[in-house]
């Protein structure tokens, strides 16, 4: 365990102006407050905050952050109070410790909603001061280092949580060293057998390649010295988890990996980075497709380096990372390396006390901007589970870089589409996106973007994002905005319908509809706004009669009719669209199946029949004038009429004696409708059923029955039993349905 004087000396070694008295006071206070508390390992509990502080000392952070690390568990686990911390150490440190305390019970592997809500708390605390994140990551890293002392189930939960959230979060903050150590420790806990196998093979490869590694280092140094370039050449070994995940991802063996051992070339400037690249590429052949320039185009977490692979000495593939010392510091420490120290004349609150260095994150940092964007998403009102889902998407994807027509660089997650690009530019651009051009060519919106693509978004003021876009988009921001816009569209649609319903209800009661009247009844209806009332009425959650009664208590409630007309809609699955209104349609009374209603030959215009046998249409899909038809004799039942192309006729191919040649005998003045069945594949968005029903009603068709089945997340199949006059009438309905944007496909069926 680090002694008090050792902590102070280590901080003073990189920050001579650090407040020594503050550090000493925090050390003693934390030790006293934790007293005789023990960790699972049996060590004094105080060893934990001390080791967390030591990790942050290695990152060369300011004295306030180190003190916050020492105190980070005092409010949660001891009798310390916020007022006491403020009085002894100042409000700045009190705020940091309080922010850490609010998230100290973060358990991201509990129930999903609880998990997501805790993650929101974490980011809210980080938003106020990024040092909260640095202490939290150090806290988690030390807990992972001592994970072997906790029970097995707890160990796996903590390891999975680290792999899912903390390691990716460290990566997005650019803290590569912290991320790699977290991943390896979590990998060891989650899959110890695989970890041991990889470590055993690494030791063998390390011994087998020892001479080769030194030879490559010497060859590189010699070339740089000859070219007058001062450069450090360091060997690098790929980490166990990184090796395992690449083997899993590419389905290859460890021996097939070419980048287990690599080299970093460190120079003093950007110019020297490209000078080194020139020397390397003119001396040894480059492996095609293995060159990446993150210096001219940094990653979103500010990572900069030039990556290349050459065929070097002994014809071995050699992976090189070329970067400046400054880039290397950022690559290892990320957001912590972006710390700026602001000078203050009276740094310790006393005149002449010297300069105090206060940590602040540069707003030019890409990691900072990403973090702020997450907070913006949180504040835009997504529910916690959506927020966590979208954040995980952001954490786990690599990047693709695209450009606007004006040359603005947009960094997106790999696999992103123009929809994601539009929302990355601005939410309003995404919501009004109607099409796109990629590199000057009109392309579908679901096209996957590639590095270097120039994307032009075509917008329309009348466009609203369909719900199906959510399954196409891959970025959290786009999905969040699409879902939010869909909800708003749904609310607006239900609100409009609710208003129409209430206007008619008020008119029947002899009253005029006014919004102010609705607002006066909110407390009686348990609603918080007039729009909420309209939406509830439109959804069918609030009867219009209740609203009229709340507005005018003296008006007697009308009696319900004895035999109300019913809408027959069979639904399989949860509500995926809004049934807002059905126009001009008649529905058959329940229990009466298609044409199984006792109609006989004298009411069905068919030629070719003899006798008084009952005649009916096939129960599945029926037949309409214009269809070639055939009759099938069914003993004890009568004659069933099938379209000649019906699949059910296969059952009778070996019974030709039952087939009867029939044809239509339709009078032009006949108003008889005939059964047909269509399958409509529509998007899962509010009002889809209403649009489908409206097309059928306006065309003069009649719906007997509807069954729905969700086939994928964003689309649902509707099996609709219709009554139409003839084939031309059916084609007119199908054509009208195909013209609707919510309809993906329509076909006639005989299921």
For residues 162 and 165, give the distance between their C-alpha atoms in angstroms, rounded to a whole number: 6
Is 557 part of a structural domain of the chain? no
- Residue 670: the pLDDT is 64
- In contact, 703 and 689? CB cutoff 8 Å: no
* CATH code: domain of residue 149: 1.10.3210.10
Tell whether 47 and 182 lie within a shared domain: yes
Tens digits of per-residue pLDDT, 214-264?
Answer: 888 888 999 999 999 999 999 888 888 888 888 877 777 776 676 678 889
What does 207-251 look like in DSSP terms, one character per residue? HHTHHHHHHHHHHHHHHHHHTT---EEEEEE--HHHHHHHHHHHT
* Dihedral sign computed on CA atoms, order 149, 151, 152, 156: negative
Is 127 part of a structural domain of the chain? yes
For residues 545 and 504, give the distance between their C-alpha atoms in angstroms, rounded to a whole number: 11
- Residue 62: the pLDDT is 87
- In contact, 659 and 630? CB cutoff 8 Å: yes
- Residue 264: the pLDDT is 92
Q: What is the DSSP letter of 649?
A: G
Parent domain of 333: 198-337
Tell whether 378 and 493 lie within a shared domain: no
Q: What is the DSSP letter of 154?
A: H
Tell whether 104 and 227 lie within a shared domain: no
Q: Which residues are CB-contacts of 691 (< 8 A; sequence separation ≥ 6)?
A: 740, 742, 743
- 558-562's contacts with Cβ under 8 Å and 24+ in sequence apart are 558/508
* Tokens 């690098």, residue located: 236
- Residue 366: the pLDDT is 63
Is 93 part of a structural domain of the chain? yes
- Residue 297: the pLDDT is 84
Q: Among 600, 654, 607, 647, which residue's Cα sits nearest to residue 631?
A: 607
Q: Which tokens hold the place of 396?
A: 């786990």
> Could you give the 3-state DSSP secondary structure of residue 360?
strand
Is 560 part of a structural domain of the chain? no
Tell whether 165 and 49 lie within a shared domain: yes
Tens digits of per-residue pLDDT, 383-397?
Answer: 555 555 555 545 544
Q: Helix, strand, coil % (nearest 5) of the chain?
A: 50, 15, 35
Q: Which of 161, 195, 229 is the last residue of a domain?
A: 195
For residues 489 and 465, give the distance between their C-alpha atoms in angstroms, rounded to a whole number: 9
Q: What is the DSSP letter of 438?
A: E
How much is the pTM? 0.52
Is 521 part of a structural domain of the chain? yes
Tell whether 270 and 392 lie within a shared domain: no
- Residue 70: the pLDDT is 94
Tell whether 643 and 678 lie within a shared domain: yes
Tell whether 218 and 312 lie within a shared domain: yes
Q: Looking at the 3D structure of the chain, how many domains does it have?
A: 5
Is 353 part of a structural domain of the chain? no
Tell whether 207 and 182 lie within a shared domain: no
Catalytic residue flag (residue 343): no
Is 684 part of a structural domain of the chain? yes
* Tokens 């185009």, residue located: 297
Q: Which tokens hold the place of 516?
A: 């102010």
- Residue 536: the pLDDT is 82
Q: Among 635, 112, 200, which residue's Cα sits nearest to residue 392?
A: 112
Tell whether 379 and 480 lie within a shared domain: yes
Tell whether 180 and 96 lie within a shared domain: yes
Q: Which of 316, 337, 358 is the last residue of a domain?
A: 337
* CATH code: domain of residue 418: 3.10.20.30
Q: Which of 551, 570, 588 is the last residue of a domain?
A: 551
- Residue 109: the pLDDT is 43
Is 348 part of a structural domain of the chain? no
Tell whether 166 and 214 lie within a shared domain: no
Catalytic residue flag (residue 76): yes
For residues 469 and 422, give the distance between their C-alpha atoms in angstroms, rounded to a whole number: 12
> 20, 77, 117, 546: which is the annotated catalytic residue?
77
> 76, 196, 380, 428: which is the annotated catalytic residue?
76
Chunked into runs of 10 residues, the chain (751 residues) has average pLDDT values of: 86 90 92 90 91 91 91 88 91 85 49 54 64 88 92 87 82 83 93 90 81 86 91 87 82 71 90 93 88 86 87 81 89 66 37 39 55 58 54 55 79 85 91 90 89 87 84 84 84 81 83 83 81 80 82 69 37 34 31 35 47 68 80 76 81 75 71 84 83 87 86 78 87 87 82 61
Tell whether 159 and 121 lie within a shared domain: yes
For residues 481 and 411, give the distance between their C-alpha atoms in angstroms, rounded to a whole number: 18
């Amino acid at each position: 365990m680090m002694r008090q004087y050792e902590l102070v000396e280590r901080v003073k070694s990189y920050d001579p102006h650090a407040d020594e008295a503050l550090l000493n006071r925090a050390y003693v206070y934390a030790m006293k407050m934790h007293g005789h508390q023990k960790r699972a390992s049996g060590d004094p509990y105080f060893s934990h905050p001390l080791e967390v502080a030591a990790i942050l000392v290695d990152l060369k952070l300011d004295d306030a952050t180190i003190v916050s690390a020492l105190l980070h568990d005092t409010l949660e686990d001891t009798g310390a109070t916020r007022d006491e911390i403020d009085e002894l150490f100042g409000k700045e440190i009190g705020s940091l410790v309080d922010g850490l305390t609010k998230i100290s019970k973060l358990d991201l592997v509990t129930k999903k909603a609880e998990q997501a809500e805790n993650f929101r708390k974490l980011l809210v605390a980080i938003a106020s001061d990024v040092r909260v994140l640095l202490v939290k990551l150090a806290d988690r890293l030390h807990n992972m280092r001592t994970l072997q002392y906790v029970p097995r189930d707890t160990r796996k939960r903590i390891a999975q949580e680290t792999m899912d959230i903390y390691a990716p979060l460290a990566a997005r903050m650019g803290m590569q060293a912290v991320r790699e150590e977290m991943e390896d420790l979590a990998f060891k806990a989650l899959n110890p057998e695989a970890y041991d196998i990889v470590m055993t093979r690494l030791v063998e490869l390390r011994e087998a390649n020892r001479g080769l590694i030194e030879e490559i280092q010497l060859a590189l140094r010699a070339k740089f010295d000859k070219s007058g370039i001062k450069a450090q050449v360091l060997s690098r070994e790929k980490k166990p988890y990184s090796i395992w995940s690449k083997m899993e991802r590419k389905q290859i063996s460890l021996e097939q990996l070419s980048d287990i051992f690599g080299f970093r070339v460190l120079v003093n400037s950007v110019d020297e980075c490209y000078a080194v690249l020139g020397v390397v590429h003119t001396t040894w052949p480059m492996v095609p497709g293995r060159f990446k320039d993150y210096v001219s185009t940094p990653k979103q977490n500010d990572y900069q380096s030039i990556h290349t692979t050459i065929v070097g000495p002994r014809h071995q593939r050699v992976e090189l990372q070329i970067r400046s010392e400054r880039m290397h510091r950022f690559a290892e420490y990320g957001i912590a390396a972006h710390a700026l120290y602001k000078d203050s004349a009276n740094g310790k609150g006393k005149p002449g006390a010297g300069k105090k260095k206060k940590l602040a994150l540069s707003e030019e940092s890409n990691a900072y901007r990403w973090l702020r964007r997450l907070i913006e998403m949180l504040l835009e009102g997504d529910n916690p589970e959506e927020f966590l889902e979208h954040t995980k998407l952001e954490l786990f994807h690599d990047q693709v870089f695209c450009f606007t027509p004006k040359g603005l660089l947009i960094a997106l997650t790999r696999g992103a589409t123009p929809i994601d690009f539009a929302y990355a530019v601005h939410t309003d651009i995404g919501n009004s996106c109607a099409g796109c051009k990629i590199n000057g060519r009109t392309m579908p919106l679901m096209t996957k973007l590639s590095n270097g693509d120039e994307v032009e978004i075509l917008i329309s003021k009348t466009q609203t994002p369909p719900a199906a876009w959510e399954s196409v988009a891959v970025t959290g921001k786009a999905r969040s905005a699409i879902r939010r816009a869909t909800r708003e569209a749904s609310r607006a649609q239900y609100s409009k319908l609710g208003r129409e319903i209430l206007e008619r209800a008020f008119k029947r009661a002899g009253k005029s509809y006014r919004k102010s009247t609705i607002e006066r009844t909110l407390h009686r209806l348990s609603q918080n706004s007039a729009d909420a009332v309209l939406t509830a009425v439109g959804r069918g959650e609030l009867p219009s009669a209740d609203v009229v009664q709340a507005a005018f208590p003296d008006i007697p409630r009308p009696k319900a009719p004895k035999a109300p007309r019913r809408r027959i809609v069979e639904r399989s699955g949860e509500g995926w669209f809004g049934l807002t209104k059905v126009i001009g349609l008649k529905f058959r009374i329940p229990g009466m199946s298609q044409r199984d209603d006792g109609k006989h030959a004298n009411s069905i215009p068919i030629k070719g029949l003899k006798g008084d046998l009952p005649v009916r249409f096939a129960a599945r899909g029926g037949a309409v004038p214009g269809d070639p038809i055939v009759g099938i004799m069914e003993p004890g039942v009568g004659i069933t009429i099938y379209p000649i192309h019906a699949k059910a006729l296969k059952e009778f191919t070996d019974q030709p004696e039952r087939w009867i040649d029939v044809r239509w005998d339709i009078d032009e003045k006949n108003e008889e409708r005939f059964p047909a069945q269509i399958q409509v594949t529509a998007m899962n968005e509010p009002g889809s059923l209403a649009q489908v029903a409206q097309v059928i009603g306006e065309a003069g068709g009649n719906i007997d029955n509807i069954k729905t089945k969700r086939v994928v997340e964003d689309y649902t199949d509707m099996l609709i039993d219709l009554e139409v006059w003839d084939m031309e009438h059916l084609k007119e309905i199908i054509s009208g349905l195909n013209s609707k944007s919510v309809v993906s496909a329509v076909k006639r069926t005989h299921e």
